[in-house]
């Protein structure tokens, strides 16, 4: 099967933040299933002049490749809902969207996107229940996993190079929790955006997991308006044991559905228990080694992306086949001419953008001001305009391109 993946080569489209998660993990797993894959980089704002250019070039890429499936991971409104509708109505392609952060993004994003794809995949049970209650019958419940290419047998505690490590961006309570245990004399090596060691390659991430006596996972979700944070099962929960590491994770609802929490991984709640659990497994390496072996065996058996993706792809193709679809590929960027005209901004929109950025810079400084203005525009838009936020007429996408 030919699959065109729509996501980024780099995290958030920023080369300084290293390879994107989907690029490093999803592509190898799709290829391991025998699919012919290519990528359309929808995260890189430097590759296109605006969202209209991005959508036109996506249509061209689909027309050129003629894939059987689009495998999308969208951040928010970069691919218009009209573009998805056009591709589904005018070509034989099926569309699968893998939702990220649905513990908080389902309400503001995924519920509006789901009607425009054949299958929307969520990893959040509450979001799945909300979809069912809303009559969104094309939402499938799945979960993060480990890349098949990244599986590696554990080494013993004595062979490890790091005592304790964490790989991931520095935000929220992560900094305070790390500093709390460092003050207790525990050495923690941190890698990723915002940490002293900076981002590392996907291959190095796997090596760090495998060569750490303990790999910490923090489960909090991203910040939301009002300062509310929730916890969610992270991909790291599967990556660490899959790579041969030992996982010590923050408590998160539902994780016990995927692991034996007393035999395959370990959990903590709060800085005091985090310190106690670290000392327990550093002082008892045989316990650490046994759980690392058990966790790896569980992931290799049950929690790889090849295992997750196979039924989801089949489901998307089945649902897509039930639609009335043409057999030909007579489609090109001109098909979005009306949407492109609607997306253009005039002097009034330019003045509004300038005013919002100026206000943002006054409040948050020159570096963060534009992104703060974009975030405010988005938060207001999805609440007031709902589904139109994700269309060509959506004003956050019209006002803010590089900041999105």
Q: What are the residue boundaries of the structural domains of the chain, listed by start?
A: 2-145+305-343, 150-302, 347-399
Which tokens go with 186?
């525990």
pLDDT for position 383: 97
Classify domain 2-145+305-343 by CATH architecture: 3-Layer(aba) Sandwich (3.40)
The 8 Å CB, 24+ separation contacts for 256-264 are 258/143, 258/233, 258/298, 258/302, 258/303, 259/295, 259/298, 260/294, 260/298, 263/290, 263/291, 263/294, 264/291, 264/294, 264/295, 264/298
Instruction: Name the pLDDT band for 329 (thresholds 50, 70, 90).
Output: confident
DSSP per-residue codes, 60-90: HHHHHH--SEEEE---SSSS-HHHHHHHHHH
246 close to 159: Cβ distance less than 8 angstroms: no
Classify domain 150-302 by CATH architecture: 3-Layer(aba) Sandwich (3.40)
Q: Range with the lowest mean pLDDT among 24-28, 182-186, 208-212, 229-233?
A: 229-233
Give this prediction's pTM: 0.93
* Stronger pLDDT, 327 or 252, i.e. the higher one: 252
287 close to 280: Cβ distance less than 8 angstroms: yes
pLDDT tens-digit map of 274-290: 999 999 999 999 999 99
Instruction: Name the pLDDT band for 54 (thresholds 50, 70, 90).
Output: very high
- Please check the confidence at residue 230 and state whether its pLDDT lies above 80: no
The mean pLDDT value for 222-235 works out to 69
- Please check the confidence at residue 227 and state whether its pLDDT lies above 80: no
DSSP per-residue codes, 337-358: HHHHHHH---HHHHHHHHHHHH
pLDDT tens-digit map of 184-210: 999 999 999 999 999 999 889 999 999
- Please check the confidence at residue 223 and state whether its pLDDT lies above 80: no
pLDDT for position 222: 59
Q: How many CA atoms lie less than 13 Å away from 389 in the CB half-sphere?
A: 25
* Nearest alpha carbon to residue 282 among 182, 162, 154: 162
pLDDT for position 313: 98
Average pLDDT score, the chain: 94
Same fold, 2-145+305-343 and 150-302: yes
The mean pLDDT value for 25-37 works out to 95
pLDDT for position 328: 80
To which H or E segment does residue 39 belong?
A: strand 36-41
pLDDT for position 229: 61
To which H or E segment does residue 293 belong?
A: helix 285-302
- Please check the confidence at residue 151 and state whether its pLDDT lies above 90: yes
pLDDT for position 224: 52
Q: How many CA atoms lie less than 13 Å away from 372 in the CB half-sphere?
A: 15
């Amino acid at each position: 099967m030919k699959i065109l993946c729509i996501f980024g080569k780099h995290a958030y489209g920023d080369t300084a933040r290293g390879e994107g998660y989907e690029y490093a993990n999803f592509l190898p797993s799709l290829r391991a299933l025998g699919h012919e894959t290519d990528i359309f980089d929808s995260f890189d704002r430097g590759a296109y002049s605006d969202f209209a250019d991005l959508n036109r070039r996506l249509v061209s890429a689909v027309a050129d490749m003629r894939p059987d499936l689009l495998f999308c991971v969208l951040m928010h409104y970069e691919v218009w809902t009209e573009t998805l509708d056009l591709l589904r109505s005018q070509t034989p392609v099926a569309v699968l969207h893998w939702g990220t952060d649905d513990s908080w993004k389902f309400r503001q994003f995924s519920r509006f996107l789901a009607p425009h794809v054949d299958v929307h995949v969520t990893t959040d049970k509450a979001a799945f229940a909300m979809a069912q209650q809303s009559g969104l019958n094309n939402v499938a419940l799945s979960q993060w996993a480990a890349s098949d290419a990244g599986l590696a047998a554990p080494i013993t505690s004595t062979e490890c190079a790091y005592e304790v490590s964490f790989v991931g961006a520095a935000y929220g309570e992560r900094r305070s929790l790390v500093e709390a245990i460092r003050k207790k004399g525990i050495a923690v090596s941190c890698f990723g955006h915002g940490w002293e060691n900076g981002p590392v390659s996907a291959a190095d991430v796997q090596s760090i997991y495998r060569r750490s006596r303990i790999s910490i996972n923090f489960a909090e979700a991203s910040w939301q308006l009002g300062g509310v944070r929730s916890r969610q099962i992270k991909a790291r929960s599967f990556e660490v044991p899959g790579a041969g590491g030992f996982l010590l994770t923050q408590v998160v609802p539902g994780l016990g559905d995927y692991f034996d929490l007393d035999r395959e991984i370990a959990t903590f709640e709060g800085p005091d228990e985090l310190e106690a659990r670290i000392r327990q497994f550093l002082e008892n390496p045989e316990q650490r080694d046994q759980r690392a072996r058990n966790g790896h065996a569980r992931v290799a058996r049950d929690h790889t992306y090849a295992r997750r993706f196979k039924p989801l792809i089949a489901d998307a193709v089945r649902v897509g086949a039930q639609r009335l679809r043409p057999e030909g590929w007579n489609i090109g960027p001109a098909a979005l001419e009306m949407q492109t005209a609607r997306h253009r901004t005039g002097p009034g929109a330019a003045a509004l953008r300038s005013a919002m950025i100026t206000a943002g810079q006054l409040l948050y400084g020159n570096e963060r001001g534009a992104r703060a203005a974009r975030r405010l525009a988005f938060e207001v838009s999805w609440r007031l305009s709902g589904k139109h936020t994700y269309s060509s007429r959506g004003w956050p996408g019209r006002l803010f391109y590089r900041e999105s």
